[in-house]
Amino acid sequence: MLIPKRYLRYLGVFLVLLLLLGMAYWLHQRHNARLAQPLRHFSAAQQPVNGSTPITTLQAIPTNPAQVALGKRLFFDPRLSHSNTMNCASCHDLTRGGVDGQRYSKRDDGSLTTVNTPTVFNAGLRSAQFWDGRAETLEDQAITFFVEHQEQGAPWAEVEPKLRADKDFNRDFSRVYADGITLKNVAHALAEFQRSLTTPNAPFDRYLRGDKNAISADAQKGYQTFTRYGCVGCHQGMNVGGNMFEQMGSVRDYFAEREQKTGEKITRADLGRFNATHHEDDRHVFKVCSLRNVAKTAPYFHDGSAKTLEDAVTTMVRYNLGIEMPPNDVRLIAEFLKTLSGDYAEHTP
């Protein structure tokens, strides 16, 4: 008995839809499984010292010197705040690792931020900005700064006339940008300055380039330990992180245990990337921080809850690997992390 062609077409469409639904379900389950599982471990055979390491040497980002110079002036300009007393460096202190060393930073109005201030160094190497990744580029981040105006309390409509009133600044800006002072140009200049804030030539960079004496024997063991536990699954590349997102507490419930220990309840800031995407899978997911200069940027995590490197390492392996790391392994990893602090060559206009 022959089946009419129109029924064969219907059957074909049905099978294709069934296949697509099956693939969508598989991808969804795979994503959930990734969040629920600890980071993968690397075998000793996957621990090359040079040439193909998960971590690569840091390179400076090409920038426009004139735009960098303008961005630097803006970075230190208090007119970007409502009170004319606060600038970007108030929270991102370039003499202190690009942070202020506080759990939460003080805003222009005296209130505190809801997340810990991340370092501004090597920000140009991140794949997204803010803990929740709501800004894709440094330009987007700067524009968000003026749109949300939470930290310094001054929207662009307030900042623009203050900058235009400065004849010298207006003149200099017009020399670099054809259309002069605009929100887009100010954001670009700030972004260009941040891209210049790289910190190459860390001891570990020199070690990767072949100088075996650049770091101590304990730091070398620390790197092997860091790799063996699978930490390089998230902290890799030139910036040793900053290029992906992960759930805080993928194995153990970090926030429930934090509340039990400290009484701190979950806040909106603890929802992480969920605030930007409103996808349930992004609840408590945060941008993986870069470990460059991490020894200078305590306290750690979005909530600033870890006071020392050792605290941070212990917390990560407990909640994202589901294990209690031996104290000596924690110490060795901390010694390795200290070798990631590089040199910042200050830009001189």
Q: What is the per-residue pLDDT across 255-312, written as a single tens digit (0 to 9) for each?
A: 999 999 999 999 999 999 999 999 999 999 999 999 999 999 999 999 999 999 999 9
pLDDT at 151: 81
The verdict on 278 and 301 lying in the same domain is: yes
Residue 19 placed within a domain? no
My answer on whether 50 and 91 are in the same domain is no
Task: Using the predicted structure, report yes or no on whether residue 95 has a pLDDT greater than 60.
Answer: yes
At residue 5 the predicted structure's pLDDT band, cuts being 50, 70 and 90, is low
Rounded alpha-carbon distances, angstroms, from residue 75 to 86, 93, 286, 341: 10, 11, 26, 23
Mean predicted confidence (pLDDT) in 97-110: 95
Q: Mean per-residue pLDDT for 38-47?
A: 32
Q: Is the pLDDT of residue 233 over 70?
A: yes
Distance CA(320)–CA(315), nearest Å, equals 8
Confidence of residue 2 (pLDDT cuts 50, 70, 90): low
Give the residue from 41, 39, 38 showing the smallest Cα distance to 228. 41
Instruction: Report residue 244's pLDDT band, with 50, 70 and 90 as the boundaries.
Output: very high
Report, as residue numbers or ranges, the catalytic residues: 151
Q: Which of 178, 195, 212 is the last residue of a domain?
A: 195
pLDDT band at 21 (very low <50, low <70, confident <90, very high): low
Q: Give the pLDDT confidence score for residue 46 in this predicted structure.
A: 32
Mean pLDDT (whole number) for 170-195: 97
Question: Which pLDDT value is given to residue 18?
Answer: 64
- Residue 99 covered by a domain: yes
**Torsions phi, psi for 249 (to 5 deg):** 90, 55
In a domain, 174, yes or no: yes
pLDDT confidence bin for 19, thresholds 50/70/90: low
The residue among 170, 195, 220 that closes a domain is: 195
Q: Are residues 177 and 255 in the same domain?
A: no
- Helix, strand, coil % in the chain, rounded to nearest 5: 50, 5, 50
What's phi and psi for 244, nearest 5 deg?
A: -160, 175
Co-location of 48 and 127 in the same domain: no
Q: Tens digits of per-residue pLDDT, 112-161?
A: 999 999 999 999 999 999 999 999 999 999 999 999 877 888 899 999 99
Q: How far apart are CA 145 and CA 240, in angstroms?
A: 26
Same domain for 187 and 229: no
- Structural domain that includes position 204: 44-58+200-338
Task: Fill in the amino acid letter for 28.
Answer: H
Identify whether 345 is part of a domain: no
Categorize the per-residue pLDDT at 25 as very low, low, confident or very high, splitting at 50, 70 and 90: low
Distance (Å, whole) CA 102 – CA 299: 7
Report the CATH number that the domain containing residue 249 is assigned in CATH: 1.10.760.10
Concatenated DSSP letters of 82-104 = SSSS--GGGTS-TTTTTS-S-SS
* Sign of the Cα pseudo-torsion (77, 79, 81, 83, in order): positive
Asked whether residue 48 falls in the same domain as residue 129, the answer is no
**% residues pLDDT > 90 (the chain):** 80
Indicate the residue among 195, 220, 244 that finishes a domain.
Answer: 195
Q: Cα(129)–Cα(126) distance, rounded to whole angstroms?
A: 7
In the prediction, which pLDDT does 3 show? 56
Confidence of residue 35 (pLDDT cuts 50, 70, 90): very low
Q: How far apart are CA 42 and CA 229, in angstroms?
A: 7
The C-alpha atoms of residue 152 and residue 147 are separated, in whole angstroms, by 11
Q: Which of 31-45, 223-237, 245-259 has the lowest mean pLDDT?
A: 31-45
Half-sphere exposure of 211 (CA within 13 A, CB side): 13
Gyration radius of the chain's alpha carbons = 24
Residues 186 and 234 in one domain: no
Give the whole-angstrom CA distance, residue 119 versus residue 130.
10
Note whether 130 and 234 are same-domain residues: no
Q: Which residues pair with 246 in a beta bridge?
A: 286
Q: What is the pLDDT of residue 214?
A: 98
Higher pLDDT, 55 or 343: 55
Helix (H, G, I), strand (E, B) or coil at 277: helix
**What is the spatial distance between Cα 106 and Cα 112, in angstroms, rounded to a whole number?**
5
pLDDT at residue 152, as a whole number: 81
Q: Provide the domain count of the chain.
A: 2
pLDDT value of position 66: 97
pTM beyond 0.85: the answer is no
pLDDT at 9 over 80: no
Question: In the block, which residue shows the tokens 């006071």?
Answer: 307
Q: Is residue 102 part of a domain?
A: yes
Whether 22 is covered by a domain: the verdict is no
Q: What is the rounded distance in angstroms from the CA atom of residue 9 to the CA atom of residue 7?
A: 5
- Is the same domain home to 241 and 137? no
pLDDT of 153 reads: 80
- For residue 113, the SS3 value is coil
- Mark whether 107 and 140 lie in a shared domain: yes
In a domain, 126, yes or no: yes
Is the pLDDT confidence value at 181 over 60? yes
Tell me the backbone φ, ψ of residue 129, rounded to 5 degrees: -115, 160
Q: Comparing 164-173, 250-259, 340-349, which segment has the lowest mean pLDDT? A: 340-349
Confidence at 53, pLDDT banded by 50, 70, 90: confident
CB 217 within 8 A of CB 339: no
Judge whether residue 165 has pLDDT over 60: yes
Co-location of 185 and 204 in the same domain = no
pLDDT computed for residue 231 by the predictor? 96
What is the CA angle 159-164-167, rounded to 5?
140
Check whether residue 177 and residue 243 sit in a common domain.
no
Q: Has residue 3 been placed in a domain?
A: no
